[in-house]
Structure 1
Amino acid sequence: MSKLTREILATRLFSDPKHYPYGFGRSGDFSISESKILQQRGSLIAALVDGKISPENEEEHGYLEAAFGHREPVTPAEKAWVKYQQRIHRPRAASIYGSKKAAVMDAEDDVNDDDSPLDIDVDDD
């Protein structure tokens, strides 16, 4: 496998087919400018964050500081990357159909206890 260089990373378009299968621009999460920035600089920032390459200038150090939360993002690229990270690491919404654990809890709730204060004895006298 060839070693990744800055020149290759600078020209490689970044995509995330797992989280954004139709691209950043069509997701509704990012503006047009943010999606362009992610496509153009995302490969370089991802390599920096993953530790595949080391930062060489102040701009790259800024990417790392913002990505790891050591300071607020300042540049548009830093803001777009932090927004991307927040979007892919957000908690997933629950299904409207519930979950298996909830179904198990419902089954346990249906069991009638003899000591329940809501039990009413109706006599047919």
Structure 2
Amino acid sequence: MSESFISNQRFFDNKNYPRGFSRHGDFTIKEAQLLEKFGQAFSELDSGKREPVTTEEKVFVSVCRGNQMPATENEKTWVKYMARINKPKRFHTLSGGKPQIDPSEDFSDVDD
């Protein structure tokens, strides 16, 4: 029987985690280790670049497609990673709403 999630490459995400997964604070040490060790395989399975071979990999792909809830550490870690990198970016604008001034405050230009 073949092993699941075999990859010859360590997984790094220099765009979202330039200092590494464990130094950013989003992941536990165990989760960071799982991502580094198996993340390349997770990514390839999720994107379809790699076909699942084992039952575990087939279930993993099903989780990635949203057909099943994550149950294993691998599945939960990958879902957490994907949620972190795909969350919508918050942005703030300074645009033309009415200024919020409390009319009960007394504004004057005269120094006391």
**TM exceeds 0.5?**
yes
Deviation at 1:93, TM superposition (A): 2.7
Question: Paired residue for 2:26, among 25, 29, 49?
Answer: 29
1:38-53 matches, within 5 Å, as: 38-53=35-50
* Structure 2 runs not aligned, ≥5 long: 1-5, 100-112
Q: Deviations over 1:28-78 (max 9, x none)?
A: 100000000011111001111111111111111121111121111111011
Question: Paired residue for 2:16, among 6, 16, 19?
Answer: 19
TM-score (norm: length of structure 1) = 0.69
Aligned residue pairs total 95
- Structure with more helix by fraction: 1
Question: Paired residue for 2:60, among 60, 63, 67?
Answer: 63
Q: Deviations over 1:60-118 (max 9, x none)?
A: 11211111211111110111000000001112232xxx42xx33x25xx58xxxxxxxx
Structure having greater relative contact order (Cα 8 Å, sep ≥ 6): 2
Counterpart position of 2:51:
54
Distance 1:21 1:27 in 2: 9
1:82 and 2:94 equivalent? no
CA RMSD of aligned residues (A): 1.9
Query: Greater CA radius of gyration, 1 or 2?
Result: 1
* Structure 1 runs not aligned, ≥5 long: 1-8, 111-125
Runs (4+) of structure 1 exceeding 2 A deviation are: none
TM-score (norm: length of structure 2) = 0.76
Counterpart position of 1:113:
none
